[in-house]
C-alpha cells in the first residue's frame, strides 16, 4: 500500500520544474492527486498567494484565462472565513456568475471547503454562505451598483471586475462599505481589459498586483495549453487573454478608450425613435460568431446606445426570439438586420419570431470598419453616446481601426456591427413623434 501523502511530499513537488511536476502527477493515483490538490498553499504559483506585506487594501490578481484566479480567490475567502467571524462581499459581473463560478464552480468556495473537509451552509435563494464560526458571505452583482450601497464588510472578493457593467459605481459603493474591522481589504481577480477603473487601481499605492499566464497552471491539459500557444502566442489577443497583460489602445482605433469613457451619457426619457440592430451569425453552435443585437435610440438629433442584447451559441430561432424580446422590452420601431449571410433565412426566422415591427434587411457593400467610420465621427462630435457600460461591445469598438482592420478580443466585431446598423438607421431617418420612455 502506498504511504499517505505528507506535507514534505507536497513541498518537494512544488520545488520541481513544471515538466517534472507534470510527469510525477501523471503517475499518481486519484487519492494522491486529491491530497496534493488540497494542499493549495504548498504548490500554488506565487501570483496566487496573498501579498506578504501588510499595507495593502486591494490585491489585484490580473492574469490569463485558466491561470487559477478562481481557485485562489476561493481559497483566500475560505481561509479568512475560517479564521474568525466576519462579513464578506462576493461580487461578480452578475448574480448568476457569482453563484456558478465563485460559489458552486469546480474551483469555487464550496469545492474548496469540501477539499478541506469543512462544512459551509449555502442558501442559494438568499445568495448567502455561512461558516460554522459565524462568517457570512453575501453575493452581489456588478450590474447592480445600488445593491452595494449600505452593507458593511470586512473583506470582498471581486471576480472579473473588467466585465462589470456598472464597474465604477459598484466599486465605489463597495469601497464605502469596506470599513469593518481593523484591516478591511478586497481581492480582485480578473482578466485584463483597458478600462478606466483597472488603470485607477493600478495607480493606487494601496494596490498590490500579482498575476500569471495561462501556461503556468499545471492542472490544465498540456494539449489545451499547446493549442492556445500555437494559435495565439505573440498576438494582441494572446498577450491579453493568455499572458494577462493590460493592452492599451489599438493603434488607429476608431473608438479609443478615452473616447468611449467621454461618450457616456444618460439617455433622456423622451426618445424620437428606437431601433434594434442585428448582425446574425453565419453558423450555428458554440464555436460560431455571436449574434449582435444592439438597441439604440434618438432624441433631439443625438443618438444613444441603450442596450447590448447579443447572444452566442443559439440556433436561428433562438437568436430571433432574443431580437423579438428586445423589440418588446424597448418598444422599438424597426429591426435593421444584415442579410449578407443567408438573407432569406434571416428574414424568415425574424418573421417566424413575430417581432411585431417592420424588419429592414440591409446588405453590406463595405467592410465593417469602413461602415463604422461615420458613426465614430458622431461619437467624436458628441452626437452619439453610450447610455451605460457595455464591456463586450466596447472591447469590439476599440478594436476597429481607421485602416479597415480589426484587432479585438473576438473573431468578428458582431456587437459593434449591430450597433453601427442601428445608429446608421437612426442617422438617416427623421420620422416619428417624441414619446415618454422610462429608462
- Cα–Cα distance measured from residue 379 to residue 74, given in angstroms and rounded to the nearest whole number: 41
pTM: 0.69
User: Is residue 19 a part of any domain in this protein?
Assistant: no
> Do 98 and 127 sit in the same domain of this protein?
yes
Q: Residue 284's pLDDT band (boundaries 50, 70, 90)?
A: low
| Residue among 301, 332, 321, 288 at smallest CA distance from 422 | 332
Question: Of 185-189, 247-251, 311-315, where does mean pLDDT reach its minimum?
Answer: 247-251
164-209 confidence digits (pLDDT tens): 989 999 999 999 999 999 999 999 999 988 888 998 999 999 999 9
User: Is residue 94 a part of any domain in this protein?
Assistant: yes
Cell numbers given for 341: 449571410
> Do 321 and 197 sit in the same domain of this protein?
no
Pair 62, 173: CB distance under 8 Å: no
Q: Which residues contact 309 (CB under 8 A, 6 or more apart)?
A: 276, 293, 294, 295, 322, 323, 325, 326
User: Is residue 248 a part of any domain in this protein?
Assistant: no
pLDDT value at residue 355: 84
Q: Residue 283's pLDDT band (boundaries 50, 70, 90)?
A: low
> Do 235 and 277 sit in the same domain of this protein?
no
9-64 confidence digits (pLDDT tens): 666 776 777 677 777 777 777 666 666 666 677 667 788 989 988 789 999 999 99
> Do 131 and 200 sit in the same domain of this protein?
yes
For residues 281 and 385, the model is more confident at 385
Please say which residue of 241, 274, 293 terminates a domain: 241
> Do 227 and 282 sit in the same domain of this protein?
no
Burial of 344 (0-12, 13-18, 19+ CB in 10 A): exposed
pLDDT value at residue 97: 96
pLDDT value at residue 11: 66
Q: At what angle do helices 414-428 and 391-399 cross, to 10 degrees?
A: 90
> Do 294 and 414 sit in the same domain of this protein?
yes
Q: What percent of the chain has pLDDT over 70?
A: 88
User: Is residue 33 a part of any domain in this protein?
Assistant: no
> Do 237 and 360 sit in the same domain of this protein?
no
User: Is residue 153 a part of any domain in this protein?
Assistant: yes
> Do 314 and 167 sit in the same domain of this protein?
no
> Do 419 and 289 sit in the same domain of this protein?
yes
For residues 368 and 263, the model is more confident at 263
* CATH of residue 375: 3.30.420.240
Bridge partner list, 295 = 276, 307
CA end-to-end span of the chain: 67
394-436 confidence digits (pLDDT tens): 989 998 988 778 887 788 899 999 999 999 999 985 544 444 4
pLDDT value at residue 438: 46
* CATH of residue 94: 3.40.50.300
Segments forming the whole domain that contains residue 207? 44-241
Amino acid at each position: 500500500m502506498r504511504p499517505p501523502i505528507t506535507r514534505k511530499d507536497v513541498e518537494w513537488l512544488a520545488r520541481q520544474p513544471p515538466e517534472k511536476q507534470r510527469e510525477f502527477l501523471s503517475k499518481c493515483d486519484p487519492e494522491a492527486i486529491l491530497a496534493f490538490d488540497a494542499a493549495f498553499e504548498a504548490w500554488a504559483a506565487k501570483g496566487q498567494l496573498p501579498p506578504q506585506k501588510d499595507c495593502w487594501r486591494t490585491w489585484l490578481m490580473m492574469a490569463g484565462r485558466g491561470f487559477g484566479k478562481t481557485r485562489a480567490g476561493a481559497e483566500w475567502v475560505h481561509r479568512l472565513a475560517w479564521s474568525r467571524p466576519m462579513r464578506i462581499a462576493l461580487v461578480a459581473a452578475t448574480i448568476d456568475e457569482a453563484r456558478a463560478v465563485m460559489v458552486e464552480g469546480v474551483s469555487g468556495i464550496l469545492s474548496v471547503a469540501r477539499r478541506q473537509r469543512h462544512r459551509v451552509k449555502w442558501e442559494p435563494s438568499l445568495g448567502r454562505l455561512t461558516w460554522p464560526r459565524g462568517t457570512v458571505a453575501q453575493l452581489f452583482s456588478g450590474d447592480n451598483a445600488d445593491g452595494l450601497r449600505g452593507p458593511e464588510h470586512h473583506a470582498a472578493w471581486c471576480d472579473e471586475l473588467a466585465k462589470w457593467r456598472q464597474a465604477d459605481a459598484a466599486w465605489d459603493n463597495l469601497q464605502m462599505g469596506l470599513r469593518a474591522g481593523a484591516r478591511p481589504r478586497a481581492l480582485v481577480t480578473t482578466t485584463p481589459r483597458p478600462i478606466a477603473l483597472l488603470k485607477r487601481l493600478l495607480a493606487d499605492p494601496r494596490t498590490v498586483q500579482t498575476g500569471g499566464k495561462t501556461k503556468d497552471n499545471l492542472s490544465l491539459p498540456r494539449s489545451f495549453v499547446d493549442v492556445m500557444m500555437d494559435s495565439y502566442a505573440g498576438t494582441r489577443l494572446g498577450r491579453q487573454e493568455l499572458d494577462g497583460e493590460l493592452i492599451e489602445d489599438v493603434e488607429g482605433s476608431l473608438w479609443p478608450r478615452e473616447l468611449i469613457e467621454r461618450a457616456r451619457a444618460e439617455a433622456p426619457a423622451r426618445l424620437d425613435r428606437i431601433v434594434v440592430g442585428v448582425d446574425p451569425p453565419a453558423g450555428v453552435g458554440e464555436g460560431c460568431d455571436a449574434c449582435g443585437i444592439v438597441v439604440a435610440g434618438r432624441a433631439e438629433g443625438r443618438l444613444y446606445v441603450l442596450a447590448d442584447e447579443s447572444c452566442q451559441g443559439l440556433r436561428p430561432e433562438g437568436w430571433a426570439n432574443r431580437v423579438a424580446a428586445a423589440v418588446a422590452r424597448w418598444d422599438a420601431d424597426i429591426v435593421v438586420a444584415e442579410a449578407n449571410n443567408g438573407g432569406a433565412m434571416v428574414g424568415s426566422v425574424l418573421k417566424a419570431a413575430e417581432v411585431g415591427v417592420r424588419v429592414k434587411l440591409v446588405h453590406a457593400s463595405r467592410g465593417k470598419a469602413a461602415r463604422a467610420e461615420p458613426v465614430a465621427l458622431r461619437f467624436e462630435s458628441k452626437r452619439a453616446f453610450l447610455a451605460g457600460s457595455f464591456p463586450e461591445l466596447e472591447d469590439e469598438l476599440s478594436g476597429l481601426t481607421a485602416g479597415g482592420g480589426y484587432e479585438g478580443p473576438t473573431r468578428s466585431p458582431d456587437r459593434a456591427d449591430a450597433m453601427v446598423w442601428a445608429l446608421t438607421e437612426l442617422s438617416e431617418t427623421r420620422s416619428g413623434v417624441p414619446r415618454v420612455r422610462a429608462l
